[in-house]
Amino acid sequence: MLHEFSINVPFSEINEITDLLNAAGIYNLYYESPIEIIKVQNGYGYEEKEDQHIELKIYASDQEVDHLPEAYYPLLTETLSISRDDISYKTYDETNWEQSYEFEDIDLGNGWVIKYPGSEKEYNDKNVLKFDPLAAFGTGLHETTQGCLRMVLNEDLTGKTVLDLGTGSGMLAIAASLKGAEKVVAVDYEEVSRELYHNAELNNLTNDLQVVQADLITGEYEIDETYDLILINIGANETMSIIERHDLLKNSDNFFISGLVEWHLDELISVFAKGGFSINEKSQTNEWVSIHFRRD
């Protein structure tokens, strides 16, 4: 049995409260920061609302602590100087507690479907990209990923080389491989090789698929090869920094750039124009924009 104790606390005091609970030997804590989504230059950001109260949840299991819930009530009241009436309590069956999130398959509208684990649907008349997000960024749900993904899946990449910068869990790299790319190099700040190779295996890929962990902006990694296509699905500021850091426009005549918002495009378009590129394709979903830059 899993026991949940809930307490309403000021968010401004959450660090002090968690420190007190940790010192008392209570570590299984959960809360959601109160935030307000705000528009920023490069997309969206958030501000934490320090003046609000939040619900702090404390968990304990019968497998780890004896005599629950009574064992926790005096511990919580004494540690936090609250009364028993300030604590809400409920229990869960631990066997049903950890339920994995099930993604709904996504029809991209161009003859391709993203099919997630657990789906039993059959797509006899469509191409299927099998994908398991695991822990890395990039589920395919966001407009930026879908916009760039459609561009990749509409291309014939047979025998070509592709560089995917900021690959996350590797959806674009997998798509490029499915479209026939002979070599794909996927680079990310995080260690994502487990996710990417797992998804490559799901799709029975046998091409040259390389995963590199590197800081593209401040690290020592150098992009010194040329590619038939370079993919960047990060954001305008980060894309600009990577282009400047690596003098990247020399490395390809084709770029698929996504993660862009409509109010932050002019500078990026200007940089590509100065490099001899024109816009071959531009797509937009809500405020999110994807662009194919090509140099003839």
Q: Strand pairing of 53-61 and 29-30?
A: antiparallel
Question: Which residues touch 77 (CB under 8 Å, ≥6 apart)?
Answer: 83, 84, 86, 87
Of 257, 282, 231, 259, whose CA–CA distance to 142 is shortest? 259
Q: Where in the chain is the domain with CATH 3.30.70?
A: 2-96
Full 3-state SS string of the chain: CEEEEEEEEEHHHHHHHHHHHHHCCCCCEECCCCEEEEEECCEEEEEECCCCEEEEEEEEECCCCCCCCCCCHHHHHHHHCCCHHHEEEEEECHHHCCCCCCCCCEECCCCEEEECCCCCCCCCCCEEEECCCCCCCCCCCCHHHHHHHHHHHCCCCCCCEEEEECCCCCHHHHHHHHCCCCEEEEEECCCCHHHHHHHHHHCCCCCEEEEEECCCCCCCCCCCCCCCEEEEECCHHHHHHHHHHHCHHHHCCEEEEEEEECCCCHHHHHHHHHCCCEEEEEEEECCEEEEEEECC
Fold of 2-96: Alpha-Beta Plaits (3.30.70)
Q: How many other C-beta atoms are found inside a 10 Å radius of the C-beta of residue 153?
A: 19
How many of the other CB atoms lie within 10 Å of CB of 112?
22
CA-CA distance, 262 to 275, in Å (whole number)? 21
CATH number of 138-294: 3.40.50.150
Q: Produce one character per residue of 35-70: b if its CB has 16 or more CB atoms within 10 Å, e if not.
A: eeeeeeebbeeeeeeeeeebebbbbbeeeebeebbe
Selection from 266, 258, 263 nearest residue 292 by Cα: 258
Q: Please, where in the chain does CATH 3.40.50.150 lie?
A: 138-294
The single residue listed with the structure tokens 């996350």 is 168
pLDDT value for 265: 87
Q: Which of 94, 89, 93 is nearest to 69 (CA)?
A: 89
pLDDT tens by residue, the chain, 296 residues: 889 999 999 988 988 898 899 888 888 888 777 756 455 555 544 455 778 899 999 998 888 889 999 999 999 999 999 999 999 999 987 655 444 446 788 888 889 999 998 888 999 999 999 998 765 445 556 666 788 999 999 999 999 999 999 998 899 999 999 999 999 999 998 888 988 999 999 999 999 999 999 999 999 999 999 999 999 998 788 899 999 999 999 999 999 999 888 887 889 999 999 999 999 999 887 778 899 999 99
Residue 42 near residue 69, CB atoms below 8 Å: no
Nearest Cα to Cα of residue 136 among 97, 194, 179: 194
